Structure 1
């Protein structure tokens, strides 16, 4: 049962990875494309890590650290991208 759940989480993660690439081919803005890609990649990566956590519970400290790092890194990256893309030139000085 644990193996099934582990493979299911890993499979869902891979689906999220591929699902995040489809908006790249659309006619939306670059920021929308980046947002869609980063959200899908984050969810996919976290799902894969949870699958690995179920598969290899002896490595839980490193896998929990990876989950926390993914959550923090992608949140900060979103704020940096939003700041860099702001159209107000005076705010960058």
Structure 2
């Protein structure tokens, strides 16, 4: 049963990866494309890591560290992208 759930998590992660690339083909803004790609990649990668955690629980410390790193760094990257796309807190002078 755990094997099945592990493969399901890995499969869902791969689906998220491909689903995140679909907005790249649209005519939306670049920031919308980057946002949807980063969210889908983060969710997909985290789902794959959860699947690996179920598959090889002996490596739990490294996999939990990978989960935390994904959650923190992708959130920080989102804030950096938002800051760089705005005027940066200046009033245009």
Quick check: TM above 0.5? Answer: yes
User: After the TM superposition, which residues 1-93 of structure 1 pair with which residues of structure 2 at under 5 Å, given as runs?
Assistant: 1-87=1-87, 90=90
Calculate the TM-score normalised by the size of structure 2: 0.94
Unaligned runs of 5+ residues in structure 2 are none
Calculate the TM-score normalised by the size of structure 1: 0.94
Moved over 2 A (4+): 87-93
Computed over aligned residues only, the root mean square deviation of the Cα atoms, in angstroms, reads: 1.8
Aligned length: 93
